[in-house]
Structure 1
Amino acid sequence: MPNYIRSKRYGGTFFFTVTLKDRQSTALLDHIELLRESVRFTLTQKPFQIIAWVVLPDHIHAIWKLPESDNDFSLRWQMIKSRFTRKLRETKKYNLSPWQNRFWEHEIQSEEDLEAHIHYVYFNPVKHGYVTSIQDWPYSSVHRDVKRGVYCYQDFL
């Protein structure tokens, strides 16, 4: 088994894939408000900037920029996942954590790398066949970015 070492870079920008154990599950969309609340709570405790985010039924893709004095993205994911799990248990629909134990992370190396990963995040619902256009997927920060004038939906065709 490979010995994977996570980046320790302070203030870095990172792409993540976080998945559920059951890849047929729709728990993330079924309980999207619990997930949003878990992210909001984590942001108040351990701030970070959300560059891009998309939630699919069984996984999340996200790009975060950490504060210059911080490199602990693992703690942030732990906080999001544990709060979501705790809130899910309160619904009496889940007894065990729905999450895979680990997540995949990639340190963004350049502006081109960042743009490629943003495109990947926002296009992912189309790639998986959930919609034919990114503007039709409601669980994406692309709508925030279009509202802010950062992107147009046509940028992702």
Structure 2
Amino acid sequence: MGQIRRYHVADIPVFITAVCHNRYPYLKPETNKQLILSVMREVKVEMDYRMLGYVILDNHFHWIIKPEGSNDFSRIMQSVKLRFTRRAQQNDHRIWQRRFWDHLIRDEADLHQHLDYIHFNPVKHGYSASPMEYNWSSYGEYLRRGYYSPDWGIHREPEGLGGLVPE
């Protein structure tokens, strides 16, 4: 298989999708959802980045981060996936697909579109009837900041999200 080229551009947000091996629901237990969040925050201390948005579902997660300085998102992802695997005590099983999907955020409109995609994802996959009902995303923080209205994304997909990201 050919080498994937990833382009590190300093101080640019990147949208990332990581999927569990064979789409197995390794992230289904709440303890594993909490563990992946804890690992993300731990890695953030060592490899400086801002976490702009996230959603953790049973077999994949979406994440928007903004690496600071010379930190690159491939190394950040490698560290998160490796630490999670070790701590979840799944060393005898492959938890993650080898690769992950990434997209460099082009501008403010692109960032907003990807945040909407992340926050609507639990509704899209049938985990909840509204983003507000799902605890494992950054939606609540954005709602508190006034970015969303309380009725945003209830029962139907907001405009402009169709076909945004392959899952």
Specify the TM-score bucket, using the shorter chain as the normaliser: 0.7 to 0.9
Counting aligned pairs with the same residue, the percent is 33
**TM-score (norm: length of structure 2):** 0.83
User: How far apart are the structure 1 equivalents of 2:34 and 2:64?
Assistant: 20
- The answer to whether the 8 A contact 1:29-1:55 is kept is no
- Contact 2:47 / 2:71 at 8 angstroms: preserved in 1? no
Check if 1:83 corresponds to 2:80.
Answer: no
> Structure 2, unaligned stretches of length 5 or more?
159-167
What per-residue deviation string (whole Å, max 9, x for no partner) do you get for residues 114-151 of structure 1?
11111111001111111111111110011112223333
| Paired residues of 1:12 and 1:71 also in contact (CA < 8 A) | no
- Post-superposition offset of 1:2: 6.5
Question: For 1:72-109, what per-residue CA distance to the aligned partner results, in whole angstroms no more than 9, with x for missing partners?
Answer: 101111111111100111xxx66223011110000011
Give the count of matched residue pairs.
Answer: 152
Amino acid at match of 2:140: H
Please tell me whether residue 143 in structure 1 is matched to residue 140 in structure 2.
yes
Match of 2:11 in 1: 11
Partner in structure 1 of residue 47 of structure 2: 46
Change (3 A) 1:27 1:10: same
1:36 deviates by 1.9
Under a length normalisation based on structure 1, what TM-score does the superposition of the two structures give? Answer: 0.88
Question: Which region of structure 1 is more displaced relative to structure 2, 28-37 or 10-19?
Answer: 28-37
- One-letter amino acid matched to 1:119: D
1:114 is aligned to 111
Runs of 4+ with deviation above 6 angstroms: none
Q: What is the alpha-carbon distance in structure 1 between the residues aligned to residue 119 and residue 86 of structure 2? A: 28
Residue in structure 2 matched with residue 29 of structure 1 by the alignment = 28
Larger relative contact order (CA 8 Å, sep ≥ 6): 1
